[in-house]
Structure 1
């Protein structure tokens, strides 16, 4: 009888343990349920909110632990743990053989003999002819007016019914160094064609995200000073060449007192254009001593010091360019040779960039 009782008791204890384990499993499964598998919308959103909150708490704990270890290392005079660099599309880009190196002698020798060397060495002054496609739009002229205010010595000519080859011939006779053609579609500028003269090359860009000056909040009005030109992230051979195409549009003697800056920033093969001017403001800042207390004069009044603060004010326009093709020589659709053409099969990898 005693043996039977003991076996029953053991079976009971085992049964309770099994129940506890199954409950734990059920709780784990509940936590592991994905919001996408829940059909009820209210429950799904509640589970998603809980998971998001938990993720935020975990992230905060990690940051606190990392800060504590760094602080402890500094107190003990040890080296702090290395800072973690976040993985981005830019710093994980595919390796490219055409990336320019600072000691690339071939590249610098090519610069001295290319089509832009005369302008960039200041032997020729840039003179730009701006025109449109045959069917102009309502926003096209407004965009051209703003381009003329950005690029010094730029002149607008109506396209009319003239063929582009005739315009190239005319511009060569009048000593223009480049032609910019603003193409429009459905009353909106959608492409830019930059033709270097007299020997090319011809760069075709897709234009998007255009914001005119009047649509920029608290915009400034640009002056006629020659701007400072900033080119960022044009790292490959092709990017270097496109950078020189853009450089050839602007004079190589910026007027720094004029405080005007034109920026072409390349990121993931999208070229972002911005136009700013510097503003210097003088503000009174109260002086403090080494203990952090406000320093006062003999009368007991706090001593203030003038401080110059610099900030940027956007002048506009604002737009984005994407290279479609780069052609040898001046514009020629039939017999022209292309240095580079963008094709859909090039977009198979998100980490592959060409500029």
Structure 2
């Protein structure tokens, strides 16, 4: 016997109720309001059925909780909702715990001296030539977030020339903010002296002055760095490049935290301050700004060289994004 459930059955029942009421009332008198009356009756019946369905669902959930409490979670496990993250397509480059090959590569790549405590971050911040006010403000807010960073104007100097000058001054990284139509829309991160170089698209930029209830005072000390959900080899490389901007201290003590949160290949940047309540038993987060979102467009070996450089990875949306559940970071 065919069993039906869900909204087709509800729609069928509603139509039956409406048909019966029209037949009954047609023998007595014409329905008041015509089509409006029929629609009102249909809404009422649908509301009643939704209420009944909701009560039955709550009853089933309560019974399942009682059984789980008495028999244990092994027999009645908690159901996890399906999301794009936990149903993502399998990727061969996902880094597993204790992956010897990945550990060897990370110990011998261009970024390894930073993690071996052989170099200290010294970051040069600049913009594209003839940048407008918003890009400069964003650079100075980066300077507020990143310790031991310096904002320098381009003045028509090419990026290759700027990289050679930064190498001579012992800078370890260069961050370049690009703009289009007077607003920041891109970011180039180049690790010195041997690369790699990452190209990002920047969007949803909010400066400190545009964020409500945002802390605008001076900040002190080094921040704690939080890197979330970078699971593939490409994601590990990008996360390590971002980590090179901030000093590392195994015995860190502080109240400031910088977060790079990767979700569906979009990297969200947040800057917070731990705020303690008067009694000292509770804490809260105070956002300091800025706030923006990055998406990786390309990763290149070596320093900036868009014409003859060797690219490790380039985003080609129409060829690579074959599914909503395919992610690269």
TM-score, normalised via structure 1 length: 0.78
Give the direction of change, closer, same or farther, for the CA distance of 1:70–1:152 in structure 2 (3 Å limit).
same
Counterpart residue number, 1:28: 13
1:171 to 163, 166, 173: 166
2:316 equivalent to 1:331: no
Q: What are the equivalent positions in structure 2 for 1:243-322 lying under 5 Å apart? A: 243-253=239-249, 256-283=252-279, 308-322=281-295
Q: Is the 8 A contact 2:173 2:245 kept in 1?
A: yes
Instruction: Assess if the C-alpha contact under 8 Å between 2:192 and 2:303 holds in 1.
Output: yes
CA change 1:185–1:83 in 2 (3 A) is same
Mapping for residues 82-97 of structure 1, pairs under 5 Å: 82-97=77-92
Length, aligned pairs only = 301
Work out which of the two has the higher radius of gyration on C-alpha atoms and give 1 or 2.
1
For residues 11 and 281 of structure 2, the distance between their equivalents in structure 1, rounded to whole angstroms, comes to: 65
For residues 255 and 104 of structure 1, do their structure 2 counterparts lie closer, same or farther at Cα, with a shift above 3 Å needed? closer
Does the C-alpha gap of structure 1 residues 83 and 146 become closer, same or farther in structure 2, counting only changes over 3 Å? Answer: same
Does 1:348 pair with 2:322?
Answer: yes
Report the Cα distance in structure 1 between the residues aligned to 2:260 and 2:272, rounded to whole angstroms: 12
Distance 2:140 2:36 in 1: 52
- Flag the 1:105–1:282 CA change in 2: closer, same or farther, 3 A: same
Q: Kindly report the root-mean-square deviation, in angstroms, between the aligned alpha carbons of the 2 structures.
A: 2.8
Q: CA deviation at 1:70?
A: 2.3
The separation in 2 between residues aligned to 1:213 and 1:48, in whole angstroms, is 48
CA distance 1:134–1:254, change in 2 (3 Å): farther
Matches of 1:182 and 1:43, distance apart in 2:
61
The unaligned stretches of length 5 or more in structure 1 are 1-23, 34-39, 284-306
Aligned to 2:180: 185
Gaps of 5+ in 2: 1-8, 19-34
SS of aligned partner of 1:182: strand
- Following the alignment from structure 1 to structure 2, what is the Cα–Cα distance between the partners of residues 56 and 25? 12
Whether contact under 8 Å (1:193, 1:205) holds in the other structure is yes
Q: Which residue of 2 aligns with 1:236?
A: 232
Inter-partner Cα distance in structure 2 for 1:209 and 1:113 = 36
Q: Give the superposition deviation at 1:63.
A: 3.1
Distance 1:86 1:144, change over 3 A: same
Q: TM-score scaled by structure 2?
A: 0.84
SS at match of 1:65: helix
Q: 1:27 to 1:64 in 2, by over 3 A?
A: closer
The within-5 A match list for 1:103-114 is 103-114=98-109
SS of residue in 2 equivalent to 1:171: helix
Query: Hey, what does 1:290 align to over in structure 2?
Result: none
- How many angstroms does 1:60 deviate by? 4.7
Aligned to 1:12: none
Distance apart, 1:116 and its partner CA: 1.1
Deviations 1:213-239, CA, capped at 9 Å, x for gaps: 111111123512100000000000000
Q: 1:66 and 1:109, CA in 2 relative to 1: closer, same or farther beyond 3 A?
A: same
- Partner Cα separation in structure 2 for residue 25 and residue 69 of structure 1: 25
Alpha-carbon separation, structure 2, partners of 1:139 and 1:45 = 54
Cα pair distance change 1:201/1:83, threshold 3 Å: same
